Each structure stands twice: as structure tokens, then as C-alpha cells.
Amino acid sequence: MKDGDHLEISADDLITLVSRYNPRTNAELIRAAYDYGRDMHADQRRHSGELYFNHPVAVAAILTEQQLDDATIITALLHDTIEDTKASYGEVAERFGDEIAELVDGVTKLTNLQLNSTETKQAENFRKLFMAMSKDLRVILVKLSDRLHNMRTIRAMRPDKQAQKARETMDIYAPLAGRMGMQWMREELEDLAFRVLNPEGRASIIRRFINLQKETGDVIQRITGDMRLELDKAGVQADVFGRAKKPYSIWRKMQEKDQTFSRLSDIYGFRIITANEEDCYRTLGAIHQRWRAVPGRFKDYISQPKSNGYRSIHTTVSGRDGKRVEVQIRTIQMHDVAETGVAAHWSYRDGVRSQNPFAVDPAKWITTLTEQFDAEEDHVDFLEAVKLEMYSDQVFCFTPKGEVVKLPRGATPIDFAFAIHTRIGTACVGAKVDHTRVPLWTRLKNGQSVEIITAEGQSPQATWLDIAVTGKARAAIRRALREEDKARFIKLGRELARSAFENVGRKATDKALATAARAMRLADRNDLLARLGSAELTGSAVVQAVYPELRPKEGAHVDAKRAVIGLSPGQSFELAFCCQPLPGERIVGITFKGRGVLVHAIDCDRMSAYEDQPDRWLDLHWHDGSHPAVYGITLDLTLNNDAGTLGRICTLIGETRANISDLQFVDRKPDFYRLLIYVELRDVSHLHSLMLTLEAESDVAEVSRYRNMSQDATQTPA
């Protein structure tokens, strides 16, 4: 028997864990799932060498700590079977029912999402993640527990994989756990990721804690005793718990406040659990009578709960020796929700679903979380909105009538206006905060009263995008700006379409454009032209929708698929996007197992990464002869911000027989704007000719070839 050829948690052990909170559990079904999962994973091992099935069982055990239902526990046992074994959806459904099969399939789809990929792909996958969550939130509960166990055992992985998983955990899974109200999981995920990403920083925090304890003794025990004494005097029955904050939490505070450890004061946290809500406020009074409250550090989430059901009173007081301590005060039921967050909806006690009055309906919660994201048509805008929402702490402001509006920290009156109604936001011309007129970029604070001043005929300004922080406001502003700019975009789109169609020897007639719109499932040709003019579509994509068989007719004698000489028979190649090599430039190839050869320009900065791997280098050169205009490069243009300038430039590029396939605005100012234009050219001489033509234009302030060395070498433009 090899080392690791044993299961750390038996079926009986797992059933015992479930039975402690759910005596009515279906033990036989859990045992059947355990046996099935063990058989399916029988020959598989983890990076550490232990049996792979130890992992699903450990994930199930983590979920028992949250007292979750049988379906979720069984899903954990089977969550890798469909993806990694010969098990099928149909077989899982037949053995364990449709509900569990759907959950296992949902977790499998989440596992396959590459959330740490390129920004556009990441945004698409975030949208899929929220769609999966909206179907059944239990899939993300299993996935979070899966990630937690993987992070606990990450040391067996290669260092580069550890760093990748840790960064993904820090950026995505930890904030998501926090957003769901599972603060304990967020803290542990952050700390485990911190251990990988910055082991020296974490070790230094722990060393300083040890030194502090040597100097001051057990501060937590002394303050806990003091608090219990004060509560006894006030006649309040409550449990008091104290702890030092997690290393990552302290590190983050040091970075945010730019303070050293010795100057950081609130590194201890205390939790007081009372029998009822009335005792919460009596406890608050007793604490504030004994210790001085720190101004601006009081939050009452009992009277104003968070959207995930979280309720608690937070206050910070100056304790012994002037040390600040954070105190959270809540009831037992509030504490249960605070520990499990949205998962409290599925928690069991004594064999029945827990009737916790503070548990949030997951369907309603996910609806409120995603409704503002649905308005985001652009994937990258969606990603921005999701990350803002997941990382945000909330502030509570009031309308003049006393209604509460919840906003993320850093929100402005613009966000407040759109939170009330899109119509109010669109017509906003000013704001009063606590009866005083303030600029629209003012950051709102807890408890402020906000009055929005509106005017007929007002429309959102482009500068509002720099002011607003909520996804809802930014999406509404973008929609309004799109409508306002639609006529201008249609005109520009017509020029781009004309150029793209002429490049393949066709005309951009109204009929051709209408046909393209139908093929691309757009409303009409004006919608197509507007999207083309705003760079949401490319000219080549529109042409391909009508004439899929055509390519730019540049007298191509050299097949683009065979344009490079120096490859082995059957060896494929790709052009690196970081340096975008063109025919006529010196090139070199780097071999990749299973992917062929990546072709770089000889002066590409990325080549330094392969200096110590000469066996992977290939000496390549281009075929002689005429090449088609299919080789993409990016131009960085700064243009005068005058009417018609961009249209003329696009026409000029088209006249040089170059094809514009994409453009992206980088910076807009009243007198100029900067944009990146992705054009397809024949070769380096074609590029030089195009740049000379553009440099001669009076409306072009600056033009250069753009190479993005931070971009993935194989990434194609959005």
C-alpha cells in the first residue's frame, strides 16, 4: 500500500457530522454517493500523492460546518465526477435524482470557467458565473468550499500554479464569499492566498504579534474580562469572544492607512452575542459608558441590514492603554446568519430547515445583485460593475422624505440619483447634501440626507462616467450617451462600412447593410452603422456577414497560412500579438509543445524571457512575393477633435488599401482625442506608406506604431 492510500474521513464519519444538525438525514443516500464517488475517483491522485477522493470528502465536511442540506453535501461528494471520471450526467441523475445532477453539472461548469483569463474573456465568464448562481446558489457554496480546501492544501502544487490560484482566490472567490455574508470564509481565503503571494509580509505580521504579546501579555483575555464585568453590572446575559485580526486584514489596513504595525491601533476584534435585540442596545450603552467611542466608527446594521441579511452593531472604542478595539454586537440568530450569510437559507437544525427570521431568500438576493449588471451590454463594463459591487462597503443615505438608499462606499450624488430612478439621474443638474449645495463629484457619507435637483431637457454628460461608481449609474449614462451620439456614430459607421466593402470590391449599399444587420441579429442597418461607428463592431465582421467567402483582394500570391519559411513539415505557427510582426521584418520563432510555433519580431521585448532556452528558437523568414493585407498591427493616433476628422482619417486609411478591423478610444479631451486603430496590412512597406500618409495630414497630431508588451503574446484584440 502506498502512502496516502487511505481516506481521511470515512462515510460513517461524514454521516455523523451531518446527523449532528440533521438527525433526519438520508444516511443511505449519502453513503451511496460516498461509495460512488470513491469508485469513480479510485485511480486518481492529488499532487501530494494522496487519494483524490479525499478532496471531495473534505469539501463535503466543510459544508457540514455550515449545516447544509443533504443535496449540497452529496453534490460536494460528486462535484468532480462528471468532469474528471467516466461518470455522466444521466448516470448521476438516475442514481441520485435530477436536483443533485443539476447541482453537480452546475459546479462542473463553474470549474471550467477561466476567471483569471483575459479581461474580455473573464467578463464573459463572470456573467456565466452569475447566471449559474441565479439558477441555484448552492453551486457557488460548493465551489467556495472546493476552493477553500484547495487553498488549504495548495503547497503540493507547482509554485507558478500556486501563485495563479492564490491571485484568483484573492481577486474573485474571497470577495464573493464576503459579498455572500460568509465573512469567516472570506478571511480564511484571503489569509491562505496572502501566505502564497506574500509569505514574507505575512510572517512579519505574525512575528510582530508574538513580540506584542510578550510585551503586553494576553490583551484579549484582559479586555474580554473587562467587558464581561461591565455587562454583569448592566444585568445583560451575553457571551463575549475576542481575537486578533487575521494577518492579511492587518496588512491591508497598514497599506490603506500607510502606517507601520506599531502605529496601527485596531488589531483586536471582539464579538458579543446576546439573547435578544433589546440586549444588543443595552450592551452598546454599557460599552460606551465604560470606554470612549471612536468618532465615525459606529454602524447599526440591525436597523439597516445589509442586502445579504447581515445584522450587527459595529463600534470601535479606545480600550486599555489607548488601544482601539472593534466590537460587534448581535443576537444568536443574527450571528448564525453572519457566519453562513446567504447559505443560512439552507441550514438545518434538528432535521428541519432552520427558521431563521434573518435568513435572506437567495433568489431575491441574487436578483438584487444582478439586476444592475443585466443593463451592461459590454462585457468589460459588466466586469467593472461586478468588481465594484463585490468589493464595496456600503453607505446609507436618506432622501428628503426619509427613505434609505444603499450605495457603495465612494458613491456620489450621481449614483444616488440613478439609484432612485433612471429618469431622476438623467435629469440631474445638481445636489444638496444636508441642505447644502455640493458638487456632483462629492463622496457621500453614512447618514447624509441627499436632495437631487433636476431640470427638463438635461442629459447625462460624458464626464459623469468619471464621477459615478455604481454599475447601474454608469450603464444608464453610457446608454444615454450612446443615444446622443447615435447620429454621429451612424455617419462614421457609414464611412467605415464603405471602406471595408470597397476593400473586397463591393459597395456598402443599403440592401447590403440591411442584410448584414439581419445576419448579425441587429435591429436594422442604422443599428449596425451606429455599432460600427462606436467600435462595437468591425468593418471586416460586417463584410464577412454578407460575403463570408471574400477576403481583402490585395493580389495575394503568398498563402498567409504558408507565409513563413523555416518550419518543420506539418508545423503550425501563430503571429505574436505583443509585437505584431509584418512581412519584411526580421522574425524568429519560439516552439511550444502542442501549440506549434509563435512568431515574434526579432526586436520584441518578450524574447528576453527565452534567452536561456536556445533549443526553442527557430530562425525564420517570410516568403518572397506579394502578401495579402491580412497582417494586423495597431496604430496609436492623436487627432484634432473637430467634426468629421475621424471619418476623413478612416477614409484615408481605406484609400491606402488598408482594412480597419477595430478601433478603441483611449482618451478624449475637448481639443483632441487619442485612439488605437487596428489595421490589416500587406507588409512593412505598406505600414511605412500608411504612416507617411497619416503624418502628412494636418488633423493628425501624432501617429506611431503601438506594441503592447503587457498583452498576452497570443491574445487577439477584442
What gap in Å lies between CA 432 and CA 399, rounded to an integer? Answer: 11
Catalytic residue among 3, 12, 84, 434: 84
Rounded (5°) CA angle 430-433-438: 50
8 Å CB contact between 371 and 470: no
- Residue 295 grid coordinates: 468618532
What gap in Å lies between CA 227 and CA 104, rounded to an integer? Answer: 47
SS3 letters across 598-616: EEEECCCHHHHHHCCCHHH
Q: Is 105 a catalytic site residue? A: no
DSSP annotation of 489: H
For the stretch 187-204, what's the b/e string if a residue is b when 16 or more beta carbons lie within 10 angstroms of its beta carbon? bbbbbbbbbbbbeebbee
8 Å CB contact between 141 and 133: no
> Any residues with CB less than 8 A from the CB of 608 and at least 6 apart, and which?
none
Q: How many CA atoms lie within 13 A of 97 on its CB side?
A: 12
Q: Is 564 helix (H, G, I), strand (E, B) or coil?
A: strand
Helical H segments across 79-136, by residue range? 81-84, 89-96, 98-112, 119-135
Catalytic residue among 65, 83, 171, 191: 83
Helical H segments across 441-470, by residue range? 464-467
Q: Which of 569, 607, 119, 717 is nearest to 598 (CA)?
A: 607
What gap in Å lies between CA 55 and CA 8, rounded to an integer? Answer: 10
Q: Please state the φ and ψ torsions of residue 183, each to the nearest 5 degrees.
A: -65, -35
Give me the residue label for grid cell 467567402. 549
What gap in Å lies between CA 318 and CA 630, rounded to an integer? Answer: 68
SS3 letters across 357-419: CCCCCHHHHHHHHHHHHHCCCCHHHHHHHHHHHHHCCEEEEECCCCCEEEEECCCCHHHHHHH
For the stretch 645-659, what's the b/e string if a residue is b when 16 or more beta carbons lie within 10 angstroms of its beta carbon? bbbebbebbbebbbb
DSSP annotation of 568: P
- Residue 386 grid coordinates: 461586478
What gap in Å lies between CA 415 and CA 450, rounded to an integer? Answer: 11
Q: Is 502 a catalytic site residue? A: no
What gap in Å lies between CA 411 and CA 395, rounded to an integer? Answer: 8
Q: Any bridge partners for residue 112, and if so which?
A: none
- Residue 111 grid coordinates: 470549474
Q: Could you give the strand order of the β-sheet that contains 428-433, starting from the edge strand earlier in sequence?
A: 436-438, 428-433, 450-454
- Residue 594 grid coordinates: 502542442
8 Å CB contact between 642 and 613: no
Q: How many helices (H) and strands (E) does the chain have?
A: 28, 22
Q: Any bridge partners for residue 636, and if so which?
A: 676, 704
Q: Is 235 helix (H, G, I), strand (E, B) or coil?
A: coil
- Residue 8 grid coordinates: 481521511
Catalytic sites, residue numbers: 83-84
